[in-house]
Amino acid sequence: MSAQQGEGNAGLVTRLLAAAVDAIAVVIATAGLYLGATGIRFFWSPLRFQWPQPGPWTSTLTLMAVAAAYLTVAWATTGRSYGATLLGVRVLARSRRRLGWIRALLRAITCVLVPIGLLWTAISPARRSWHDILVGTVVVYDRYRDRGEHAMTPERTTFPMRHRSR
Amino acid sequence: MIGAGAAVVGLAATLATPVLSRAADLVGRGVGVVIRHVSDDAVSDLAERGAQVRAEVERLARELVGWMVPPVVDAAVAEMNLTQLVARHVDIDFLAALLDVDAVVARADLDAVIARVDIAAVLDRVDLNTIIDRLDLDAIVGSVDLDAVAAKIDLEAIVKRVDPDAVIARVDVDATLARLDLAAIARQVIDEIDLPEILRQSTGAVSSEAVREIRDESMLADEALARFVDRVLRRRRAASP
């Protein structure tokens, strides 16, 4: 098996960076969730209010649940989490089609439970992690599809004016 | 008839000539006798009286002429049509050619003439509207070479003479600003400019540069890592196209 098979699939560095960005996003989202829940609690009973102090297990499980939910939605809808968008990669089925909800959920759960499986990407000639092999997915470079889909297009240099009918 | 008249006159002359010459001789002798026997004083008196009479006669003649001539001339002029006479008999073109108009103009005291003219009265009589109606302004403007006129104007000199401070001092800026609906203008400008799109574009352009950089670098790092792993694992790597 030659390394040529992995051509077009994203390598370990890119995927680690994307995962790091996603991890930060998940932490921020969880913190937001925590503050939101705390706020509701305060409004519910302000006199007996105390800052909630969840234990390590609760915190870890919450983080994992948020991450799984976030990744499931991202992969099932666009194939891209925020980190994947930033790094220009996309998670697809091996048939190069978008993942279904079930496959996205399975992949998210495996990623959250066994994140170390990502390192297999460096060894795998096809640049696939354990999660990819388990669920039947690939992570591809998809940066060129960005043009025209997002505002990150430096070609547009004209001064934007509203076009209104007078 | 005329020949008969002439014969009668000739006969009378022939008959009268001896008689007349005799009479003249007698008168001459008489005058000589008188002159010899009259004293010098008497002659002087006579001469003086003669002079007086002559002067009186001259005066009377002058009065007579002064009294007679004007009515006669008036009557004569009334009888004649002088204009027609002049037109018929005088070569006016020739006379005009003889005139030295420049000399006439040079002699004329135009200032005095102008001073005598009542310009206000003249202007009162002029109907400017009628004159303006008759003017073909387009044709006049069309015939003016505006470029040449503009080229002749020394704008620099004119502008140098203008005192901007004085001009600005006369401008009532507050009144001008009060008349402007600045809020409406500002609203219109802001409405015209799609500010969110500008922000999106500018931040998008900057961030897209950074993002492209990160993606390029990470891709290169992926490649480098893959080569390293292949070398460690002694994996054969296909040649790059």
Query: Most distant CA pair in chain A: distance in Å?
Result: 67
Question: Cβ–Cβ of A162/B191 closer than 8 Å?
Answer: yes
The pLDDT of residue B221 is 94
- The string of pLDDT tens digits covering residues B1-50 is 556 666 667 777 777 787 788 888 888 887 777 777 777 888 889 899 99
Q: For residues A86 and A75, what is the distance between their CA atoms, to the nearest angstrom?
A: 14
A11 with B221: Cβ contact below 8 A:
yes
Angle at B227 between CA A22 and CA A140, to 5 degrees: 40
Q: What angle do CA A45, A48, A51 make, to 5 degrees?
A: 95
Q: How much is the average pLDDT of A27-42?
A: 93
Cα separation, A99 vs A94, in Å, equals 9
**CA-based end-to-end distance of chain A:** 66
Exposed / middle / buried, residue A75 (Cβ in 10 Å: 0-12, 13-18, 19+) = buried
Q: Is the pLDDT of residue B160 over 80?
A: yes
Contacts of B188 (CB under 8 A, 6+ apart): none
pTM for this prediction = 0.46
Residues of A with CB below 8 A from B238's CB? 2-4
pLDDT at B131: 84
Give the β-pairing of A89-93 and A137-141: antiparallel
Note whether B218 contacts A17, CB cutoff 8 Å: yes
Q: Which of B217, B221, B236 is nearest to A122 (CA)?
A: B221
Token readout for B63 is: 């009065």
What residues in chain A have their Cβ under 8 A from chain B's Cβ atoms? 2-4, 6, 10-14, 17, 86-88, 122-123, 125, 127, 141, 143, 150-154, 156-157, 159-162
The pLDDT score that the predictor gives to residue B149 is 84
Q: In this complex, which of B207, B233, B236 lies closest to A152 when CB atoms are compared? A: B207
pLDDT band, residue A83 (cuts 50/70/90): very high
ipTM reported for the complex, 2 dp: 0.77
| DSSP summary character for residue B194 | -
Range with lowest mean pLDDT among A140-154, B104-118, B184-198: A140-154
A127 Rama sector, left if φ>0, alpha if ψ -120 to 50, beta otherwise: left
The confidence score (pLDDT) of residue B5 equals 63
